[in-house]
Every structure is written in structure tokens, then in C-alpha cells.
Structure 1
């Protein structure tokens, strides 16, 4: 029950105990005052008795009435029970009267000065000294009062000390609980969740403080949990944003390179067009001269036709490269077959030199609205990787198949027979800077291809292994205007 007492009751108890202590000390002090007052009162009483006796004794001694004096003193001794001993002597110290009560108990007392009164007897007229009188008074009542007072005082002090000790022990226990609570709070680490405080069924201040801290810690745990979730979410957002920024930077870098290459191709085209035009004109003039001269077509003319065709192909190739590297962002509607033909124009020579057979199964009339140059870049990158894989595989028959299916989307598949990609790294092929090529591999080709298809064309680029080798699939919206 004590643990539920509130602070007001505790203060009241403290005041009561404090008052009791004060009263105890006051009792001790007052007992001493009472004893002094008692002794003073007894002394006054004894003096009054002596002063009452002296005039009559003096008168009797002046007239020599010794018998009357003795009778009077006997009467005084009998009437005053506290008179233990009474003695009367003349000037020559001769004993004239003595009264001594035969009380054995009184013999054990040691008289103090205040218990013995001695006076000179003087003639009131002549002022002549007639003798002396001495009276001894009992101190039993004095000693009884002292004993009683001391007993009461000691009892009060003992009870006060016991109550005070109990209160001090209780206060120490309460502060011990508060100290333990304080130590637990100071040792609390939110990261370790090491607080061992439990909710208490107490209504006093210790219980209120303990339960308030318990509630506060529970709220801290809840807020910490929410904060951790928010931090994790924020970290994910930051990572995603960082990846997006990195992708944008890669795209900008690639576009910058394309723009630079476009400028270079423009300069090369400008430098090559004049000699190509001049050479073509010379061949045309030579053939025209032969025609005007009426000469029949000879082997020489056939050679000139081949040279002219080659020069035309070089001119068209320069145009293709110039258009390809121009970083224009306007979409154009173009057939998929035209895209493949552009790709073949770029890498056809390499495929032939590498002895790679390219099989194309594409419908001519399928149109797609897209960034043609970037789509060419994607397909060309996949074909180049397939060619590298076929060369490393050293297959006797090197084949690449390009097929197309049309449903709600345009699905272009590119498959080789190089044996496929190791399953342990298949999921990494689109990661930036990941490459299986020992030389000349930057790890950005397929990464950029995926970014172009998925981020710029709203399509999808995936890879898997088929029975023959690696299989890349490009999915594009049909006539997408997005």
C-alpha cells in the first residue's frame, strides 16, 4: 500500500515525523526546565517554612521557653512530611533540639545542597544571635519526577528514532528504484534496443515516471521503425535517381560521340565527294567517247562499269554514314526491312570476311515509327557481338538468323549458333561496363542498346539461350507515336 501513496501523503508523513523529532527534543529541553522549576519551587517552599519557623523560635529562645520551642518544632516536623531531619543549637553549638525520622530508605539518598537549609537565629530586637537551626528535606519526590520525566523523554525519543529510521529506509528504497531507473535510461541505446524497463502497476511518482519512460521508449521505437523505412525508401529513390542520372549521362556521352562522328563524316564526305565525282565523270566521258567513236563494248568498258558501280556504292555508303551519325531526334516512319538493309550495308563486308551467313526473314511492308538511326545502332551492335561470339566459338558453319513476328507489337529476334551465353552471367549482359571480350570490350554496347529500346522507344530488349546459341528479342510498339 505504501508504494501507491502519492507525494502529498509522503510530505505529510515527513512533516509529522519532523514534528515528532522536534517535540522529542523539546520534551527533553522542557523536562530540564521543569526539573529546574521544581527544584526552585521546592527551595522557595523550604525557605518559606524556615522563614515561618524562625520568628517564633527566635521569640521562644529570647524568653528561654525551650519546652515550647521543642513542642513547636515537633509539630512542624510532623506536619511537614518532607522534613527528614531538624536540628536546633545555641551559640555554643550545644544541641537544643533534634528530630530525625527513622526511614531506612532515606539513608540511601545523598543530599544535595538544595535539600539542606541552615539559618542563624537572631533576636529581632537586639539583633543578637541566639543559635542556628538546620533542616534536611527529603528528595524522593524530586527523584521520582526526574525518573518519570526521563522515562517519558526516552520513550518519545525511541519512538521518534524508530519512525525516522523506517522513513529513511523507505526513502532510500524509493530513491534506489529511481537510481536503477535512471541507470537503465542512461544505458539505453536505441540501436541495440537494450532497455529493460517494464510497465509497473504503481500509482505513485516512481510508477508514473517509469511508465512515462516506458511509453516514451515505445514511441521512440515506433518512430525509429518508421524512420528506418523512410530512410530505406529514400535510399532506393536516391539509387534509382542516381542510376537515371548515370544513364542520362551515358546517353549524352554517346550522343556527343555520335554528333562528333557525324561532323567527322560530314568532313570526310565533303573531302571524298569531289574526287569520287571527278572519277565518275572521267569514266562517263571515256564511255561516251567510245560510243561516239562507234566502238563495240569491250572488256575495258565492263571494267569501267564495275568501277562506276563501286564508286556509286561508296557514295551511298558515305550518305548512309552521314545520316546515321547525325543526332537528329525526329521520329520517322520506316519499314523494318529498310532498317535491316541499312545494317547490312554497314556490316555486310565484315560478315562476308568473317564467313558469317546472315538469314533474314522480314516482311517488306511492316512500318514502324521510330528513331531509325538508333534502331540501326542497336541491331548492328547485337550482330557485331554475335559475329565476335561465332569467331571465338570457331564453328565451321557460322549463322545468324533475323526473324520478325507481328501481333500487337513488332517482335524482332536475332539468333546465332555460337553455343549461347554462360547461365551464370546471363543476367549481367545488359549491365554497364560488363564485357566477356578480352580485348576491345567496353561493356557499354548492350547497355546502351537496352536504354535506347526501353527508355527512348518504349519497347523491350531481352536475351536468353536457345538450342543454337544466344537469342536477343526486340519488342517495339506497332506504329507507335509515343
Structure 2
């Protein structure tokens, strides 16, 4: 075997070693990516669970009036029997009103279950409907804290990602904005929501009049280093960033006018 053959063999052996090292590193990187994705999903679910207590309170409030109405309908049956008013017309009205109330109660639970069910695959969804879902779930707190919402509804615009998770993003922001309104004791509380678009993204803008945020906290608002597991609102803001990045989107915040403007960007369905 001559020197050239020795060099070729050495080169081949070295090449194989490098290829094996590269493959090993690629496998490790893929494993870490998988672990990080699993961690992100766990964090998203934890953020949902952190908000569950408030959401249950909201559902309880939404149920109170329909349950009272249903109770009155049932109690009225005895009086209707006593005064011989239980004819076909009465029974039809009783049945129709009762079923409307029962359907409402069942629909509320279905919305709640749907919201807390993780999305498995990306798909096309209405950005406006996803925002409406979050507003509906949060409606009790909007009324309780006298926050007026102005939403420019544009149902036809379709985004590509996870509908439930985007609703979670909006809910996280609504929770943070509500807390800011209360903390700063803002009197005339307003929230403006619009949907715009670029060539390849939809952009939901959520603006409040809660006085804005100082520059330094603004820069760290969505960072992991800015939150702890005991601070649900800050954790929610970090999760907001994680969710949008998992959908190839992004979030920014800036002081704007009398408050803060949040811009949620997410890929759109293009024709």
C-alpha cells in the first residue's frame, strides 16, 4: 500500500467520523426541539389551567339568569294546573322556552370544553371568530369592570394555525389589560380591536387606554426572565409569545396614545 492509498484511507476514516458526529449532533438537536415543543405545550396548558378559576366564575354568572328563568318556568306549572291553564298552547310555550334555555346552558359548556381542548393540527380558521370566542368567555369580567369593547368584526379573513390557542392568546391579553385597568384605577375603560393584513400575515391590533407601559418593562414584557410561576399574568404574556411563535407568528407591544397597542401577527390563508 503506497502513501496515496494511506492518505485516502485516512481521509475516508476521518470523513466517516465527521459524518457520524454530524449525525449524532443532528439527532441531539432534533431531540431538544421535540422536548422544547413538548415543554411549550405543557406551559400552554398550564396557562389555561391558571385561568380556569376565573373562567368558571364567568360561566357561573352566565348560567345564573337562565337557571333562574328555568326555575320560574317549572314553578309556574303548578299554578297553571291550579287555574286550568295547561292547554296545548301553554305546553308548547313552556317546552320551547325551556329548550332554548337548556341549549344555551349546554352550549356554554361546549364552548368551555372546546376552548380547553388542545389543537392537534394547524388549519384555516376565522381570526374574528377566534377573537369573539375569547370575548365571549371573558364577557362577565368585561361587564364587571365596565370595559367597553369596540371590535371591527371581519369574519372573512382566514388565518393558518391553531384556533383555540389563538383564543388563549387574546384571553391572556384581556386578563392582563383588565388587571392594568384595575391597578391604575382607570375610570373610562375602553378596548379597541381591529384586524388588518399584510401580503402574507393577518394582524390583530388590541389597544387599551390604560396609560401605557414604561419603555424598560415594555421591552421585557414577553420574556421568560420577566415571569415566575407564581405570577399568572406575566406567565400568560410569555405563553402568548410562545403560542404565536409556534404558529410562525409574533407579538409586539408599544405605548400608543393613552394606552398600549398589542399587535398579533399570524400567517394568513392566501388564495
Task: Determine if the TM-score, normalized by the shorter chain, exceeds 0.5.
Answer: yes
2:263 matched to 1:464? Answer: no
Distance 1:457 1:252, change over 3 A: closer
Q: How does 1:161-310 map to 2 (within 5 A)?
A: 247-248=36-37, 250-254=39-43, 257=46, 292-294=87-89, 305=97, 309-310=100-101
Query: Is 1:342 aligned to 2:128, yes or no?
Result: no
| Conservation of the 8 A alpha-carbon contact between 1:336 and 1:362 | no
CA contact (8 A) 1:369 1:480 kept: no
Q: Which residue of 2 aligns with 1:417?
A: 209
Give a deviation string over 1:146-205, Cα, whole Å, max 9, x none: xxxxxxxxxxxxxxxxxxxxxxxxxxxxxxxxxxxxxxxxxxxxxxxxxxxxxxxxxxxx
Q: 1:259 to 1:354 in 2, by over 3 A?
A: closer
Q: 1:426 aligns with which of 195, 218, 221?
A: 218
Q: Deviations over 1:246-299 (max 9, x none)?
A: 8546414225548989xxx9xxxxxxxxxx9xx79x86x95x99663555999x
Mark the CA change 1:421 to 1:321 in structure 2 (over 3 Å): closer, same or farther: same
Q: CA contact under 8 A between 2:175 and 2:233: conserved in structure 1?
A: no
**CA distance in 2: counterparts of 1:396 and 1:442, whole angstroms:** 22
The 1:418/1:245 distance shift into structure 2, 3 A limit, reads farther
CA distance in 1, matches of 2:250, 2:144: 31
Hey, what does 2:269 align to over in structure 1?
479
Distance 1:258 1:394, change over 3 A: closer
User: In structure 1, how many angstroms separate the alpha carbons of the residues matched to 2:35 and 2:141?
Assistant: 33
State the partner residue of 1:390. 181
SS at 1:365 equivalent: coil
The 1:323–1:413 alpha-carbon spacing in structure 2 relative to 1, beyond 3 Å, is: same
**Alignment partners' CA distance in 2, 1:416 and 1:402:** 9
Backbone CA RMSD of aligned residues: 4.0
**What is the CA–CA distance in structure 2 between the aligned matches of 1:352 and 1:402, rounded to whole Å?**
17
* SS of residue in 2 equivalent to 1:425: helix
Offset, 1:441: 3.6
Partner of 2:110: 319
5+ long unaligned stretches in structure 1: 1-239, 266-275
Q: Residues 176 and 233 of structure 2 are in contact (CA less than 8 Å); yes or no, is this contact kept in structure 1?
A: no
Question: What is aligned with 1:401?
Answer: 192
Query: Partner of 2:161 in structure 1?
Result: 370
Would the alpha carbon gap of residues 425 and 364 (structure 1) be closer, same or farther in structure 2, given more than 3 Å must change? same
Which residue is equivalent to 2:25? none
C-alpha separation in 1, matches of 2:110 and 2:90: 35
User: Counterpart of 1:79?
Assistant: none
Q: In the TM superposition, what is the alpha-carbon distance from 1:429 to its structure 2 partner?
A: 0.5
| Structure 2 unaligned residues grouped into runs of 5+ | 1-28, 56-66
Determine helix, strand or coil for the equivalent of 2:133: helix
Q: Tell me the distance in 2 between the aligned counterparts of 1:412 and 1:259.
A: 21
The structural deviation recorded for 1:363 is 1.2
CA distance in 2 between partners of 1:443 and 1:246 (Å) = 23
What is the CA-CA distance between 1:336 and the residue it aligns to?
1.7
* 1:331 aligned partner: 122
Q: Secondary structure at the match of 2:226?
A: coil
Distance change >3 Å, CA 313–CA 440, structure 1 → 2: farther
Larger Rg: 1
SS at match of 1:362: coil
Higher RCO, 1 vs 2 (CA within 8 Å, ≥6 residues apart): 2
Q: CA deviation at 1:405?
A: 0.9
Residue-by-residue CA offset, 1:355-404 (whole Å, 9 max, x unaligned):
10011012121122321010000011011111111111212210111111
Q: Distance in 2 between matches of 1:260 and 1:355?
A: 25
Question: Alignment length, in residue pairs?
Answer: 217
